[in-house]
Amino acid sequence: MQFRLTCMKRGDSRARCGEIKTNRGIIPTPVFMPVGTQATVKTLTPKQLEDVGVKILLCNTYHLSLRPGEEVIKKLGGLHRFMGWDGPILTDSGGFQVFSLSDLTKISDKGVEFQSPVCGTRVSLSPERSIEIQNALGADIITAFDECVPYPCERDRAERAMLRTVTWAKRCLDARKNPEQALFGIIQGSVFKELRSKCVEQLVEMDFDGYAIGGLSVGEGKYLMNEVLNYTVDQLPANKPRYLMGVGMPEDILNAIEYGVDMFDCVIPTRNGRNGWAFTSRGKIKIRNSRYKDDASPLDERCGCYTCQRFSRAYIRHLFNADEILGLSLLSLHNIYFFIDMVRQARQAILNGSFKDFKAGFISNLSETVDKEVSPR
C-alpha cells in the first residue's frame, strides 16, 4: 500500500485529499467505507456498491472467524473471491466486538477469551490470532488488535487498556507475515489527552502503514469526540492515512474531515435504511410516516441514485409496510449513495479551497431531522 497527499491545509481548514494505492485499485481520500460485517453489505450486491462509487469495504475479523471460519474462506480463494468483491477490503481486528460483547469476555495481557455467540464454545483471540485470521482472509488493509473501553471510564482503567493496546500492537507487527497487507495501528486512551498522546507517540515509533483512531462514539458525546480528534490528529504523521473507526453521522464525518481524517466506516447508512430512515440533502425522513402515502416525489430530488431516479416515496413506503425486502434494499442503496456522494463533494470542495463553506452549508441543510437517531453501531 502507498499513500500520497494531493491537497491539504488550505486556509484555516486542515482538511486534505490523498490517494491510497493498493494492488486492487486506488482509493481517493477522504473515503467512506460501507460495513460488510459478514462478508456482505446487508441487502446490497457488490455490483450495486460498485455502481454507486464505493471504493473499499470493511469486513469483520471476529464474525468471519466464527462463521464460516477463515480456513473456509481461504480455501475458497480468499475474502474477495468469496464475497464477489474485486475492490480493496479493510478488516477490523475484532477489538470492538470484544468490547461490545464484554459480558461474554475475559481480558488479560495474553488476549481475550469469550463465549462464542454462534455456538456457545469458549474461543481465544490474541493479537497473533487476530493477524493470523486477517492474513487468511486476505484483506488489503488489516488492523492491530486493541482494547476498547466504554465511556465513562476511570483514568486507571483507560491507561491499562491503552498500555495493553500498545503492547498488542507490537505483537501484531511481529506476527504479520504478508508484506502485501498494510497494517494500521489503533489509538486508544478514552478521552484523556495524555493517554492518547502517549499512545500516538509509541505507535508512531513502530511505523505502522496507517493509524486508526478507536474508542470514540461509545457514549462520550460530540463535544468530547471532537476535542479528542482535534488534538489526536495533530500528532499523527502527515504522510500516513488517518482512519476514524465507527463514526458515521454526516456532521461527524465532515467535522473529522476538517481535522484532517482520511477514512471512515459505519453501519449507519444501512442500519438506518433497514429501519426506514432515509438521509436526504434536507435532513432525515422516516419513510413509514403516513404523509408519504401518496407522495410521488423521490426520496431526495437532488439525489442521483438508482432509487431516487426510479421510485417514489409512496412506493418505498408501500414496500416497507408490506414487509417487502426490496424496500430495505432500495433505502440502503440510497443511503450508501448519500454518504459516498457527500464525501465526494467534500473532496471536491477541499480541492477548490472551499471546504469550510461547503461543510457549513451541507450541515445547515440537515434541518428536518427531529426524531431520535438509530444507534450508530
How distant, in Å, are the alpha carbons of 122, 180, 236, 249, 257 from that of 230?
40, 31, 11, 17, 11
Dihedral over alpha carbons 254, 149, 167, 31 (to 10 degrees): -20
User: How deeply is 294 buried, as exposed, middle or buried, from its count of CB atoms within 10 A (0-12, 13-18, 19+)?
Assistant: exposed
In total, the chain counts a number of residues equal to 377
262, 265, 300, 341: the catalytic one is: 265
Give the cell for residue 240: 500516513
Residues 6+ apart with CB under 8 A from 292: 285, 313, 314, 316, 317
Gap between the Cα atoms of 184 and 181, Å rounded? 10
Gap between the Cα atoms of 134 and 95, Å rounded? 13
Query: What stretches of the chain show up as alpha helix (H) in DSSP?
Result: 46-51, 61-66, 70-75, 79-83, 95-100, 127-137, 155-175, 193-206, 221-235, 250-259, 268-274, 306-310, 313-321, 325-352, 355-365
Residues 6+ apart with CB under 8 A from 339: 32, 34, 248, 250, 253, 268, 269, 279
Gap between the Cα atoms of 108 and 103, Å rounded? 15
Strands 182-187 and 210-213: parallel
> Helix 155-175 vs helix 193-206: angle between axes, to the nearest 10 degrees?
10
Is 58 in contact with 50 (CB distance < 8 Å)? Answer: no
Residues 6+ apart with CB under 8 A from 352: none
Q: What angle do CA 218, 222, 223 make, to 5 degrees?
A: 120
- 265 catalytic, yes or no? yes
92, 209, 262, 300: the catalytic one is: 92
Question: In 3D, which of 82, 81, 91 has the Cα closest to residue 60?
Answer: 91
Give the cell for residue 335: 443511503
- 92 catalytic, yes or no? yes
Active site residues: 92, 265
